[in-house]
């Protein structure tokens, strides 16, 4: 059986799990795929660091260029994360005519267009199935199986850490901090969890999904992004009473006059397929006239699940290498016409802390009405001198809703607009 030499850049959560499987499951992989995958080189920063599996010292290096340049390495797997030196190393491998597999969403959402162009020029593959949704097959379905579908909307729960945190806050009323610490101990969160909780990780994945779904280049910096840091457990309870579940959603939609891509906390009606996706699970829900609705769901983070997706890409690339033909470009990216979020129709959950006396409701309703925002429902919880008012608004232009929120904050009867969360327009 022909063997293919694999070099891995990074031996952490994902790289460590992948390297372990290449070393311990070589026969099983060969029996199933017909390929012998040989781990030839593994780059880490600190070879002395304790790891769950002890790698043979002769495979390890602290100089990642040695992995890329090793003539025994036929394909390079980038699992270091971050932009540099990863981007330079991936470019170096492609320019040397070596195919690359990566799980790095930040890399693909920032320099993906450039790297894919280089891969196309060299006739080699650059695959990134694990960059979105961990083990869930979504990149290949979007770029191949659904290449002929006119996708109109993609909704994704694409960050396991935040979904885990929100699920814990919903089901056990755990605080944000406690749930985050648990997500970190389970290996879902990035080393620095800021990217998870601020929505930046989901925004990179939203950019990749939008690019593939609409065949257009959407970069990470083009995605409107809001995180979950300021969500209050009290609103999660009130929203549950109204029949909603909070999710950090990546939303990419074709609006008729351009594509809109955004990431923000969203209240999802309990009956929606995404509402029951809990814990660190990820899910991507698609709509299109041909397929109607599709749901892809599964483990979206963690070393084992992510390594499975990487391994699938490695096997595909290894088959291409054995076939000896240049890899076909799988993705075509035209320039995007993006629509700003302010121009979209959005619906809101608003919690107001107000003075509890006659005429207050009329003034608040007037502020909504003056800016063309229609109220779908309202709940009042009296607390003596003050009251909590919870409104859900009908869909209306986001710019009007924002002006209404500003106007409400300025009313002397409103002590505070304590929460403003978008509601999914299903």
Q: Which residues are catalytic?
A: 205
Nearer to ligand HSE among residue 123 and residue 137 (C-beta): 137
Q: Chain-centre distance of CA 154, in angstroms?
A: 12
From 19-27, 155-163, 171-179, 230-238, give the range in contact with ligand HSE by CB under 6 A: 155-163
From 177-185, 299-307, 365-373, 400-408, give the range in contact with ligand NAP by CB under 6 A: 299-307
Confirm or reject binding of residue 331 to ligand NAP (CB under 6 A): no
Least distance from ligand NAP to the Cβ atom of residue 15, Å: 5
Confirm or reject binding of residue 104 to ligand NAP (CB under 6 A): yes
Handedness of CA 343, 345, 351, 352 (dihedral sign): positive
Total interface residues for ligand NAP by CB under 6 A: 26
Tokens 């030499």 sit at which residue?
5
Nearer to ligand HSE among residue 192 and residue 385 (C-beta): 192
Q: Which of 3, 12, 30, 174 binds ligand NAP (CB under 6 A)?
A: 12
Residue 191 binding target from ligand NAP, ligand HSE, none, CB below 5 to 8 Å by type: ligand NAP
Least distance from ligand NAP to the Cβ atom of residue 54, Å: 13
Instruction: Note every long-range contact of 360-366, with CB atoms under 8 Å and residues 24 or more positions apart, other chains counting.
Output: 360/387, 360/413, 361/389, 363/411, 363/413, 364/389, 364/408, 364/411, 364/413, 364/414
From 42-50, 344-352, 381-389, 415-423, give the range in contact with ligand NAP by CB under 6 A: 42-50
Tokens 């994902």 sit at which residue?
14
CB atoms closer than 10 angstroms to residue 93: 30
Tokens 């002397």 sit at which residue?
412
Residue 46 binding target from ligand NAP, ligand HSE, none, CB below 5 to 8 Å by type: ligand NAP
Handedness of CA 397, 400, 406, 410 (dihedral sign): negative
Q: Which of 209, 301, 309, 311 binds ligand HSE (CB under 6 A)?
A: 301
Confirm or reject binding of residue 201 to ligand HSE (CB under 6 A): yes
Q: What does the DSSP 8-state code read for residue 199? A: S
- Draw the binding track, 265-294, toward ligand HSE (x: CB under 6 A; -: no contact): ------------------------------
Residue 146 binding target from ligand NAP, ligand HSE, none, CB below 5 to 8 Å by type: none
Reduced to 3 states, what is the DSSP secondary structure of residue 246?
Answer: strand
Least distance from ligand HSE to the Cβ atom of residue 234, Å: 25
Least distance from ligand HSE to the Cβ atom of residue 301, Å: 4
Residues 363-402 that bind ligand NAP (CB under 6 A): none
Confirm or reject binding of residue 29 to ligand HSE (CB under 6 A): no
* 256/347 Cα distance (integer angstroms): 19
Q: Which of 196, 235, 313, 316 binds ligand HSE (CB under 6 A)?
A: 196
Separation in Å, CA 103 to CA 100, 131, 134, 228: 10, 4, 8, 24
* 354/203 Cα distance (integer angstroms): 35
- Draw the binding track, 128-147, toward ligand HSE (x: CB under 6 A; -: no contact): ------x-------------
Confirm or reject binding of residue 78 to ligand HSE (CB under 6 A): no
Q: Which of 14, 390, 404, 414 binds ligand NAP (CB under 6 A)?
A: 14
For residue 328 the two structure tokens come to 């076909």
Separation in Å, CA 50 to CA 26, 105, 187, 252, 255: 24, 26, 16, 41, 50
* 294/187 Cα distance (integer angstroms): 29
CA atoms within 13 A on the CB side of 15: 24
Cα dihedral 195, 199, 204, 205, rounded to 10, equals 120
* 144/136 Cα distance (integer angstroms): 15
Binding residues vs ligand NAP (CB under 6 A): 10-15, 43-46, 49, 62, 64, 79-81, 85, 103-105, 130, 134, 191, 301-302, 306
Binding residues vs ligand HSE (CB under 6 A): 134, 159-161, 188-190, 196, 201, 300-301
């Amino acid at each position: 059986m022909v063997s293919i030499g694999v070099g891995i850049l990074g031996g952490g959560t994902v790289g460590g799990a992948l390297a372990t499987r290449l070393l311990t499951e070589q026969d099983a992989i060969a029996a199933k795929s017909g390929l012998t995958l040989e781990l030839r080189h593994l780059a880490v920063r600190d070879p002395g660091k304790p790891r769950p599996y002890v790698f043979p010292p002769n495979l390890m290096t602290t100089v990642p260029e040695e992995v890329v340049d090793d003539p025994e390495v036929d394909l390079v797997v980038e699992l270091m994360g971050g932009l540099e030196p990863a981007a330079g190393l991936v470019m170096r491998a492609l320019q040397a005519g070596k195919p690359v597999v990566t799980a790095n969403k930040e890399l693909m959402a920032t320099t993906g267009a450039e790297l894919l162009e280089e891969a196309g020029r060299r006739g080699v593959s650059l695959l990134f199935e694990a960059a979105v949704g961990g083990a869930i097959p979504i990149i290949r379905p979007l770029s191949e199986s659904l290449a002929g579908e006119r996708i109109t909307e993609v909704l994704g729960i694409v960050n396991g850490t935040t979904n885990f945190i929100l699920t814990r806050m919903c089901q056990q009323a755990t605080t944000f901090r406690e749930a985050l610490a648990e997500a970190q101990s389970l290996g879902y969160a990035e080393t620095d969890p800021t990217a998870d909780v601020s929505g930046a990780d989901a925004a990179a994945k939203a950019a990749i999904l939008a690019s593939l779904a609409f065949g257009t280049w959407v970069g990470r910096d083009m995605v409107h992004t809001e995180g979950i840091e300021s969500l209050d457990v009290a609103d999660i309870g009130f929203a549950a009473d109204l029949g909603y579940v909070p999710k950090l959603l990546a939303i990419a939609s074709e609006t008729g006059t351009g594509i809109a891509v955004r990431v923000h906390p969203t209240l999802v009606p309990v009956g929606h397929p995404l509402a029951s996706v809990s814990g660190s699970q990820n899910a991507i829900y698609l709509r299109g006239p041909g397929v109607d609705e599709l749901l892809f769901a599964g483990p979206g983070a963690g070393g084992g699940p992510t390594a499975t997706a990487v391994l699938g890409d490695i096997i595909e690339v290894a088959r291409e290498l054995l076939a000896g033909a240049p890899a076909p470009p799988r993705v075509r990216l035209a320039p995007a016409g993006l629509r700003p979020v302010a121009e979209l129709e959005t619906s809101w959950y608003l919690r107001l802390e107000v003075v509890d006396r006659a005429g207050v409701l009329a003034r608040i309703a007037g502020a909504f009405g003056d800016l063309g925002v229609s109220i779908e429902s309202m709940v009042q919880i009296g607390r003596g001198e003050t009251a909590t008012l919870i409104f859900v608004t009908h869909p209306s232009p986001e710019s009007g809703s924002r002006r209404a929120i500003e106007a409400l904050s300025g009313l002397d009867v409103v002590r505070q607009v304590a929460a403003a969360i978008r509601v999914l327009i299903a």
